Amino acid sequence: MSTRNHDEERLGKLLSALPAVPAGLVAAAKELPRTRHELDRIVELAAADAEFRRALVDDLETALRAGGHEPNRFVIEELRRRFPA
């Protein structure tokens, strides 16, 4: 095998070395700036509204939907951490 072919073979292997990432994961990571804004907005709202805060603790996802939010997994996990049931 020539040096050129050997180089090509090695380059090909390196090109295959990084696997594709599930598309949803990449999309969620790209959404992080917006997700953080949404999270901050919900936390502010909860700080100002005791009823909403209680609703979050009782049933997080229902309270969010009732408030017009469609949170992703990151927001839900972070809110669960901040407002444990």
Partner 1 sequence: MDEAQGVSDAGDAGVLARCRGGDEAAWAELVDRYSRYVYAIAVQAFRLSPADAEDVFQETFTRVYERLDTLRDDEAFRPWLAQLTRRLCIDRLRVGSRDTELDEASLAEATDDELGRLEEALAVRVALESLSENCREILDRFFTRDQSYRAIGEALELPPGTIASRISRCLGRLREQLEGRKAVAVES
Q: Is 8 in the site for partner 1 (CB under 8 A)?
A: yes
Phi-psi bin for 70: left (phi > 0), alpha (psi -120 to 50), beta? beta
Q: Is there a contact between 46 and 64 (Cβ–Cβ < 8 Å)?
A: no
Count of C-beta atoms within a 10 Å radius of residue 63: 21
The yes or no reply on residue 41 touching partner 1 (CB under 8 A) is no
* Least CB distance to partner 1 at residue 50 (A): 28
Smallest distance, partner 1 to C-beta of residue 79, A = 14
Q: Taking contact as CB under 8 A, which single stretch among the options 2-10, 43-51, 60-68 is the one that binds partner 1?
A: 2-10
Q: Which residues bind partner 1 (CB under 8 A)?
A: 4, 7-8, 11-12, 14-22, 25-26, 28-30, 32-34, 36, 73-74
